[in-house]
């Protein structure tokens, strides 16, 4: 995908990036490809499809979810920075914590984050269960993101202590999620669950891959 098409698709779907943000994404793509040969941050087969399968997929959240100004957010199992770093580039006002238990991944993603030049990005090498044991993070986050890390109920189990009472869990997933959502609803009866089929005009691949957004909230 060419960058002009990338920008056009996002604009068509109400996700507006300026020239500086596009330049940051260009650098991010180049560094991701370079380091992926050494660390395996994404599938090698995806290296030619970073703009749609990773950048647009991550940014699709902005089409469907209202993220408050200056929201405190954490991306659990961020890997190469998805969706957290991509969202931070598009929404520089938010406070983004990128969390991963694999040291070499989070160190590389921290480098990516530093090269964006953006403020209020924190990269943490740890497991979310350990973060939940730190008093300063209890009921700290407005939004908890995660992309294809674990089952919905498991991530909520891990992270429920660190989300605010009025906060939201936002998960990127794919395929048939009926059984997974039913299990989460049974375990967390006090939460509401919305499942959104992602439809990005001009980017058919996301629809073909049956990508979805799960939102859990009180």
Helices 178-187/152-159 angle, 10° precision: 30
Q: Sketch out the chain's domains with CATH numbers.
A: 3-217 (3.40.50.150)
Helices 103-116/19-39 angle, 10° precision: 160
Q: Which helix (H) or strand (E) holds 40?
A: none
Q: How far apart are CA 115 and CA 24, in angstroms?
A: 8
Q: 174 near 211, Cβ under 8 Å?
A: yes
pLDDT at position 44 is 87
In tens, the pLDDT along 40-93 reads 899 888 898 999 999 999 999 999 999 999 999 999 999 999 999 999 999 999
Instruction: Report how far apart the first and last C-alpha atoms of the chain are (Å, whole number).
Output: 39
Residue 180 has pLDDT above 90, yes or no: yes
Cis peptide before 83 (omega within 30 of 0): yes
Task: Evaluate the CA torsion angle 92, 113, 81, 54 in order and state its sign.
Answer: positive
CA atoms within 13 A on the CB side of 30: 9
Which of 64, 63, 115 shows the shortest CA–CA distance to 85?
115
CB-based contacts of 47, cutoff 8 Å, min separation 6: 33, 36
In tens, the pLDDT along 19-45 reads 999 999 999 999 999 999 999 899 888
Q: 145 near 170, Cβ under 8 Å?
A: yes
- Average pLDDT of span 162-187: 97
pLDDT at position 147 is 96
Which of 150, 8, 161, 148 shows the shortest CA–CA distance to 82?
148
Categorize the per-residue pLDDT at 164 as very low, low, confident or very high, splitting at 50, 70 and 90.
Answer: very high
In the beta sheet, which residues pair with residue 73?
96, 143
Which of 71, 122, 72 shows the shortest CA–CA distance to 100?
122
The fraction of the chain above a pLDDT of 70, given in percent, is 100
């Amino acid at each position: 995908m060419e960058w002009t098409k990338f920008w056009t698709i996002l604009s068509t779907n109400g996700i507006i990036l300026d020239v500086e943000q596009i330049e940051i994404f260009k650098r991010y793509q180049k560094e991701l490809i370079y380091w992926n040969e050494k660390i395996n941050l994404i599938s090698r087969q995806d290296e030619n499809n970073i703009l749609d399968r990773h950048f647009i997929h991550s940014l699709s959240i902005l089409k469907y979810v209202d993220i408050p100004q200056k929201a405190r957010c954490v991306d659990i199992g961020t890997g190469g920075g998805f969706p957290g770093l991509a969202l931070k580039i598009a929404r520089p006002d938010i406070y983004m914590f990128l969390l991963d238990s694999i040291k070499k991944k989070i160190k590389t993603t921290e480098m990516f984050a530093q090269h964006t030049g953006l403020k209020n990005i924190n990269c943490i090498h740890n497991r979310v269960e350990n973060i939940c044991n730190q008093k300063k993070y209890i009921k700290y986050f407005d939004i908890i993101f995660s992309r294809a890390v674990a089952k919905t109920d498991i991530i909520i189990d891990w992270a429920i202590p660190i989300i605010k009472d009025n906060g939201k869990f936002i998960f990127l997933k794919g395929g048939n999620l009926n059984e997974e959502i039913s299990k989460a609803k049974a375990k967390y009866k006090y939460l509401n669950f919305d499942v959104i089929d992602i439809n990005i005009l001009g980017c058919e691949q996301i629809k073909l891959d049956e990508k979805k957004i799960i939102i859990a909230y009180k």
